Amino acid sequence: MGPIEPPHGHSAKVQPTPRGIVTWHAEALDAAT
């Protein structure tokens, strides 16, 4: 897997902070489930 990148739709919600990364990642996992 390449570098972790937020979906285009979630890119706006992503912030340059660990918390932001976890937020979009959690949403991505929830959506993938």
Q: Kindly provide the b/e burial profile for residues 3-32, where b requires at least 16 CB atoms within 10 angstroms of the residue's own CB.
A: eeebeeeeeeebeeeeeeeebbeebeeeee
pLDDT at 4: 64
Q: What would the pLDDT profile of 1-33 be if each residue is shown by its tens digit? A: 566 665 555 555 555 666 656 666 666 667 666
pLDDT at 26: 65
The answer to whether 7 and 28 are in contact (CB under 8 A) is yes
Q: Whole-model pTM above 0.75? A: no
**Cα torsion 19, 24, 22, 30: sign:** positive
